[in-house]
Structure 1
């Protein structure tokens, strides 16, 4: 028996990943959507969450895929109406609002799942295991892509709460914080913001682990040609390298065995972001288990690192940006 679920927000990620994952699931039935501008053929659509909550008390679970800025108000109303909530990354516009949602879900005995799709590769479990007994010496993140290729026309990412280049950069931080055996904090940051925008197009962040190792991250949305999504972690036993967002992993130059490598976890130039990997099916499987257990999964660490970077940053104005 499938569980009815509603999808709120029908943007690119919802259509290319969430909807296919739900359509192939034996656990879920996409019963309704919420969108003011579009709809899914054969699926009942509502223009706002209030209409959905009033008309469909039979739908116990809502998956929120709209930009982060409006999520708190929508998720709060849904939790108060007794619905379980799944949040696309980033889980919200601020850490404090995410914590409030976590408290509200706990008080109501409901599930809140803050998802990080880039963590859903089986190979990351292997990376985490290999690093677990190693001394971390340092790490380096290089996350460079062309915003015009992947986010064309998405004006919300340039507004307060839109996060700018940290929207993809947080994927790297979610991977890093999953596989490192120690905690990490931000030391300093340099943010470059177009003179006509509110969020950064480039960022350099310096971090340190709880054991004192220093690492850096370079996020840039002005990358033309080859797109780069790479993490290198140096240890007392050598180097672990993840490339293409985790699609390829090597240890001391030797690739991990092919059976451990799954499909790319992020948009790929080869697939144009439209090939469904196993990350979203795995997220929905996890959500189903959480709802059955009336449990929550709320790790806001990657968002906290982004917030800390904004707080500690030196801000620099750069050239105007237009799509």
Structure 2
């Protein structure tokens, strides 16, 4: 079965990641695109809004929602209500409640909802989870720092309410941590630095514990210049495990393993399997931790950000 998929939102993530993954997977065909401002792709039907696509005679089976998070609920809800399977970029919605509502809509409609936690598909994540099994975890340190001016140039939505700020990349680290660690995490406190002219944090430190009391520290910075930092370090009774480059490189006392960047190819392969099985895959745990951080951490004022 070939899945006829439409992309909604033709921004940087769609162009850099989703379209190449679709083009490289024989199980998908790009049937349409939706964006009120972007230029159409040659030979692909284009619409200014999702309702116009759904009302048209263009046949689609699924949509990939690649808009900023503030718009994802309405679009995914519309698509699910029309019986279309939905792959939604991370995070699946701007709030936990909205994401839960999408999951309920998917169940009611019989369509599949798939949350694209792309970092969980990095090369080192699955073997890291396996290596940790049976070992005693002593502590976890997450260090996630990148330059918003490189990855989100001119994208003001990211610092608007519901845009997540530094948690836009930081939630990737949480998606990995909640995948490989054996017990649930709880936010204890910390601080989030919010520029005085913005509504979302640009940096922060978050203290967590797992349900056995193991400490987990999270350091986030959206103004990192030079080499970018995406590390998770886990100390165990049998040595240290390190995931670097966002999970692409795994180092343990047994050696080092590095893989290619195939996160989005793996996402679409997993989405196809979910559609074939008729089973949604929409874990909300990373999103819940971000919401908990906003509730438990102290907000401090940072200098204005105009980058």
The answer on whether the counterparts of 2:124 and 2:243 sit within 8 Å (CA) in structure 1 is no
2:252 paired with 1:303: no
Please state if 1:293 is matched with 2:277: yes
Q: CA deviation at 1:289?
A: 1.2
**Counterpart of 1:13?**
13
Separation (CA, whole Å) in 1 of partners of 2:5 and 2:137: 42
Structure 1 length as normaliser, TM-score?
A: 0.92
Which residue of structure 1 aligns with residue 65 of structure 2? 64
Structure 1 residue 180, shift from structure 2 partner: 0.6
The count of aligned residue pairs is 306
CA RMSD of aligned residues (A): 1.2
How far apart are residue 109 of structure 1 and its match?
A: 1.2
Retained in 2: the 8 A contact 1:137–1:236?
yes
Taking the TM superposition and a 5 Å limit, the aligned residue runs for 1:64-143 are 64-143=65-144
> C-alpha separation between the residues in 1 aligned to 2:297 and 2:41?
42
Structure 2: gaps (5+ residues): none
Distance in 1 between the 2:151 and 2:160 partners? Answer: 17
Among candidates 259, 262, 273, match of residue 278 of structure 1: 262
Off by >4 Å, runs of 4+ in structure 1: none
2:266 & 2:245 partners in 1: Cα distance? Answer: 20
Shift of 1:255: 3.3
Report what 1:29 is aligned to: 29
Superposed CA deviations along residues 285-320 of structure 1, whole A, max 9, x for unmatched, are 111111111110011111110000001121111101
1:155 and 2:191 correspond: no
Return the alpha-carbon distance in structure 2 between the equivalents of residues 119 and 204 of structure 1: 22
Say whether 1:206 aligns with 2:203.
Answer: no
Q: Deviations over 1:125-149 (max 9, x none)?
A: 1110111111111100111111111
Of 310-319 and 49-58, the range deviating more from structure 2: 49-58
TM-score between both structures, scaled by the size of structure 2: 0.97
What is the Cα deviation at residue 195 of structure 1? Answer: 0.5
